[in-house]
Amino acid sequence: MSDRDVNTPEISRSSRLTALAGADRPLHALAGRLLAVAERGLPRMLLPEGGEFAFTRAARRDGTRTLERRGTSLRYAAITALGVRYLPADRQRAVLGGRTAEEFTGLLVERLPGVRGLGDAALVAWAAAETGHPKLSDALDRVAALDRPGTPQYTVEAAWVLSALAAARATGTVDVEDRLAAARDRLLDARIGDGPLFPHATGPGLTPWYRAHIGCFADQTYPLQALARAHASGGGDPEALAAADACAARICALQGDGGQWWWHYDARRGTVVEGYPVYSVHQHAMAPTALLDLAEAGGTDFGEPVRRGLRWMTDVPELAAAGSTEPMIRDELGVTWRKVYRGDPKKAVRAARGLGTRVRPGLRLRPLDTVFRPTAVDRECRPYEFGWMLFAWLGGLPGDTPEALDTPEDTAR
């Protein structure tokens, strides 16, 4: 299916897209195509009851290309609400089973008393703040109950707590200053030595000793985004902004020649441990949302790495090298395939390199690249991937008003 066959929404008034793509019409068209795929695909991931999203939509295990919904995920539903809230109300309802993002978030808030995961609660609270839900205070109270002071947390979840508090601060309806300061300090203190990157956890005990030095791509983007948003939400925080900028500069310096955002890093040395898998969500959503937030908060403009990463979606060097013509974007199915990966049994390359770099920093074990080439495609797609995509390209910093984008019908008139 060509770009011309896709009924893309009008995106010309998205300032982020305009600023990023400029006169690059193919890149602007690619972004519009991806946003259309997101709006087409998300309703197919909504479960029949209309109040939950599936964990994933994936090809059936019988070898056919028929897609099926599997599992449920509260955190993916919250991320979806965060992104969908930037659509006009009628298109929010089309995606969310007849509900607006605020109404859908209300369903998630009602489930909070039974939530045990800090990350899930933080994302629901973040969505409550962004959508202006009246029970924001209740959502934040649940986060506080799950976030015991002095207890190490996974870095991603700690970052979501800070982003939720920054969004709540921007509403001006709740006092979160003490909690925000503690969440901000926890992230800054999680770094190892003078390194700019973040490990997988904010303290010892959550990861095995031989992997304590490793942080994944999400462990970089969510903290840098949270620190940038915290800086922008209040009177300014130069230390937080500088930390976000340093992290962004390092992952951009390490970006692959084909625009790949690599997967695992040595947080001590700021080097790549293992590059694969390359995830579509990193390319079209997570890197853009973090780096665009950083630039708008007053940090460095990393627009060119964002552009290179986005182009990977249609120019995948790993697949080209293998002679594959399979596209990562499947317009007619409403999905972007999840990742390109090595196909190594039990993630052997990641494990070997993680242990190897613990013993000898920088050890690459290069023969593994020859034995396990990254030519496999993971044919699944998860709703959070599209939630962050909408958030990245149509969103903005805490307190920003969603842009009134034209619908296709408006454009036709």
Residue 331 pLDDT greater than 50, yes or no: yes
Question: What's 345's DSSP letter?
Answer: G
∠ CA 212-218-222 to the nearest 5 degrees? 110
Phi, psi of 46 (to 5 degrees): -75, 135
Residue 85 pLDDT greater than 70, yes or no: yes
User: Tens digits of per-residue pLDDT, 111-144?
Assistant: 999 999 999 999 999 999 999 999 999 999 999 9
Among 14-28, 44-58, 59-73, the minimum mean pLDDT is found in 14-28
pLDDT at 3: 41
* Contact residues for 320 (Cβ-Cβ < 8 A; gap 6+): none
Return the half-sphere exposure (C-beta side, CA atoms, 13 A cut-off) of residue 154. 15
pLDDT at 409: 33
Is the pTM for the entire model greater than 0.85? Answer: yes
User: Tens digits of per-residue pLDDT, 140-192?
Assistant: 999 999 999 989 999 999 999 999 999 999 999 999 999 999 999 999 999 99
pLDDT at 125: 98
Dist. CA 247–CA 239, nearest whole Å: 12
Dist. CA 396–CA 214, nearest whole Å: 30
pLDDT at 18: 78
Average of per-residue pLDDT values in the chain: 88
Q: H or E element: which one contains 101?
A: helix 101-110
Domain ranges in the chain? Answer: 3-412
Read out DSSP for 82-98? HHHTTS-HHHHHHHTTT
Read out DSSP for 285-337? IIHHHHHHHHHHTTS---HHHHHHHHHTTT--HHHHHTT----SEEGGGTEE-
Residue range 3-412 forms a domain whose CATH class is mainly alpha
Mean pLDDT of 289-316: 96
Task: Specify whether the CB–CB gap between 146 and 121 falls below 8 A.
Answer: yes
**Residue 233, both tokens:** 């939400």
**Residue 409, both tokens:** 């019908």
pLDDT at 400: 60
User: Tens digits of per-residue pLDDT, 91-115?
Assistant: 999 999 999 999 999 999 999 999 9
